[in-house]
Amino acid sequence: MKRVAIALGLCLILVFVGYTQRRGGFRSGEMERPPLGKTESEKKILAVLDRMRASGDVYLEVPVSDGRMLRLMTEAIGAKEALEIGTSTGYSGLWLCLALQKTGGRLTTYEIDPGRAADARGHFKEAGVDRLVTVVEGDAHQRLKERKEPVDVVFIDADKEGYVDYLRQVLPLLRPGGVILAHNTGSVPDYINAVTTNADLETVFYMQGGGLAVTLKKR
């Protein structure tokens, strides 16, 4: 419970910072600094993330600020089992792995495009985290039905019209105290309605970057 409170507290601080920037309290970028690697393994992942972005070796990647939020939330709740819906080329998955290598966790990530799945596997190997990741190819709407094991954190960044179905499928798997992060939900009103009208859930919206809905499954 303490870790969840810390994580949500940090999230609310970041929401406040974004609001203050929009109101003119801080100029954009005034408080933001590049992430710093503490260990050699962390530096290696960050180097791959930098290379991917600089070389354009990405596809519909999350902004850096959102990637950092994924890492922050995943590590703050001590996640052991993470699910990602929408691997793309592995950029967001690497942010999750920054946390999972610290928590001793694993990532299962779903990608419908075989080419992007292959690219992601290469990037995970390059970053030295391939042992932590299982890439599942195919339509996540179908492949998620095979999942029976509980999860601690979920990141949704795939077909927007499928968000509500993804939510429906992952909620029974998500442990109480677990967190769902959904990307670009501003264009998905049905998802927003689903996570803000369910008494079992508490949702805040982090509006920097591409925008994240951060949803806690209450204990």
Q: What is the pLDDT of residue 58?
A: 54
**171: pLDDT strictly greater than 90:** yes
Q: pLDDT tens, 181-207? A: 999 898 899 999 999 999 999 999 987
The 3-state DSSP class for residue 35 equals coil
**77: pLDDT strictly greater than 90:** yes
Mean pLDDT, range 129-152, rounded to an integer? 97
Mean pLDDT, range 127-144, rounded to an integer? 98
Question: What's the alpha-carbon Rg for the chain, to the nearest Å?
Answer: 16
Of the CA atoms within 13 Å of residue 12, those in its CB half-sphere come to 9
- The domain that holds 114 is classified in CATH as 3.40.50.150
**53: pLDDT strictly greater than 90:** no
Q: How many Cβ atoms from other residues are within 10 Å of residue 42's Cβ?
A: 17
Nearest to 133 by CA among 108, 111, 159: 108
Q: What is the pLDDT of residue 192?
A: 96
Query: Quick check: 174 and 181 in contact, CB under 8 A?
Result: no
Mean pLDDT, range 53-64, rounded to an integer? 69
| Cα-based angle 198, 68, 62 (whole degrees, multiple of 5) | 80
Mean pLDDT, range 66-79, rounded to an integer? 95
Q: How many domains does the chain have?
A: 1
**138: pLDDT strictly greater than 70:** yes
| Structure tokens that stand for 5 in this block | 């409170």
| Cα-based angle 59, 210, 10 (whole degrees, multiple of 5) | 125
Tokens 């105290």 correspond to 177
CA distances from 170 to 14, 151, 212 (A): 26, 8, 17
Confidence of residue 16 (pLDDT cuts 50, 70, 90): very low
Confidence of residue 24 (pLDDT cuts 50, 70, 90): low
Q: Answer positive or negative: Cα dihedral of 39, 43, 49, 53.
A: positive
Query: Quick check: 111 and 120 in contact, CB under 8 A?
Result: yes
Domain that holds residue 134: 2-217
Average pLDDT of every residue of the chain:
86
Query: Quick check: 45 and 73 in contact, CB under 8 A?
Result: no
